[in-house]
Amino acid sequence: INDSMGCGLVGLGPYGGAVDYEGNFFFHGFGSGSFARIDFATKNVTLGQGGGYGTTVDTKGRLWWSSSARRYDPATRQTQSANATSSGGMGQDLQGRIWGAQDGNVVWIDMETMAVGDTVTIPGSFTTKGVSVDIDGFIWVTRQSDPTVYKIDPDTYQIDTYTGLNN
């Protein structure tokens, strides 16, 4: 989507995308300060202000962005900020917490109250970038230029490592 299509989203292209439970696609326009929502059924595009490096959609259909951890509710068109920074990916666990990459750590935010929870330090000195949550609720973390992936137990914060990746 670009200006030639009359959508008004400028920048370097889609960056940090996520799909909600209805199949609608959200993405941040890199460098634009804007985001787009593409309706799955109609293919209609809705634009809004906001966005960030990492993007996820929670189970209530609200969009989350990293950099300055924020939540956007499409129903109310309201954005709320948590008092946390994030340097990369985000994901929701089975307990209703949004986990976000944060320099060399991950931090969780309560998805309802926006309260910032615990920070889990990842061993080493690389920048944390990727965050995902598996079907069993474990938090998976990758780091820039690090050949290791980290699996975090969301209850105990125990970290298991898997090595041998190639950047």
Q: Are 119 and 87 in contact (CB under 8 A)?
A: no
CB 2 within 8 A of CB 26: no
Q: pLDDT tens per residue, the chain (167 residues)? A: 444 344 555 565 777 789 999 999 988 877 777 888 889 999 998 888 877 778 899 999 999 988 788 999 988 989 999 988 877 889 999 999 999 998 889 999 999 999 999 999 998 888 888 899 999 999 999 988 888 999 999 999 999 999 987 76
User: Rounded to whole angstroms, how far apart are CA atoms 52 and 88?
Assistant: 9
CA gap 155, 113 in Å, rounded: 19
Which of the 8 DSSP states describes residue 137? -
Tokens of 126: 């690389």
Distance, C-alpha 119 to centroid of its chain: 16
List the helix and strand counts (H, then E) for the chain.
0, 16
Residues of the chain by 3-state class (helix, strand, coil), percent to 5: 0, 50, 45
Radius of gyration of the chain (CA): 16
